[in-house]
Amino acid sequence: MDTVITLTLNGEMVSARADQTLLDIIREQKISLPTLCHMDGLSERGGCRLCAVEVQGAPRPMAACVTPVSEGMVVRTHTPELEAYRRMVLELLLAERNHICAICVTNGHCELQWAAAQAGVTSVRYAYLHPDLPMDASHGRFVLDHNRCILCTRCVRVCDEVEGAHTWDLAGRGIQARVITDLSRPWGASPSCTSCGKCVQVCPTGALFAKGATVAEMTKEHDFVSWIIRGRTKREWVW
């Protein structure tokens, strides 16, 4: 893949390799673009839509993480429309489940909380749904709280692609969708879970956390995903 692609990004000509995505190039150019489902080292999902950018000639915004570069593309990342859409996405996420930051284990370390503040969300225009959602505290070391899950599926992907266990999956559709362990049996009864904790570390919110953590105590470490992937693919073990 040595072909060089040239495209226009926010008015600047930039070059890219043909196997790169728009998000790769945007990050290379040090342009700040919010993401929640993307995680360096994991496959892309294109689910959160925060990285949606304007591609000239396209009928709708395109998620940068799943859009390959192509020759002559004209891309804008921060138009007023895109920023308004990003605020809408974040407000919808905040309204859908019970994100009560003040009493959350990841208060102050949460990617959703910070993305909302950065995007300028100071209130939510939509009616809060306040769904009655359960927690699963059956695992010996970790807890799943559906109230704080945004269905980014980082847990599903890291468990499948890095740990190789594929304990996590999604059940249900649309607003009924839930992350599940082993065909929806309690996490503590999962024979496939290795208790490695990768899912907990990559979770952007307080949906997965270490048992015993209380308000604002849960911090997360993501870099290990890139270290492991680099070690596996390039035999370079650097951290």
Partner 1 sequence: MTTQNGKIRLATAWLGGCSGCHMSFLDLNEKLIDLAGRAELVYSPIADAKVFPANVDVTLVEGAVANVDHEELAHQIRANSRIVVSFGDCAVTGNVTSLRNRLGVDDLLTAVYREGPGQAPRGGEADRVMPRLLPRVLPLHQVVRVDAFLPGCPPDPERIWAAVSALLDGRPVELEPKLRTFGA
The residue ranges that bind partner 1 (CB under 8 A) are: 94, 98-104, 107-108, 110, 113-114, 116-118, 120, 122-124, 127-128, 130-133, 216
Q: Are strands 135-136 and 142-145 parallel, antiparallel or unpaired?
A: antiparallel
CB of 26 to partner 1, least distance (A): 20
> Whole-number minimum distance, CB 109 to partner 1, in Å?
9
Q: Which is nearer to partner 1, 74 or 88 (CB)?
A: 88
Query: Would the CA dihedral through 156, 157, 162, 166 be positive or negative?
Result: positive
Q: Which residue has the tokens 């998620």?
A: 63
Q: How many residues does the chain have?
A: 239
Alpha-carbon dihedral angle through residues 21, 224, 43, 116, given to the nearest 10 degrees: -70
Question: Which CB atom, from 49 or from 97, has the smaller least distance to partner 1?
Answer: 97
Nearer to partner 1, 99 or 139 (CB): 99
- Measured CA to CA, the distance from residue 74 to residue 36 in angstroms comes to 24
Minimum CB–partner distance for residue 101 and partner 1 (Å): 2
Which one-letter amino acid corresponds to residue 186?
P
Q: Which is nearer to partner 1, 107 or 226 (CB)?
A: 107
Smallest distance, partner 1 to C-beta of residue 203, A: 17
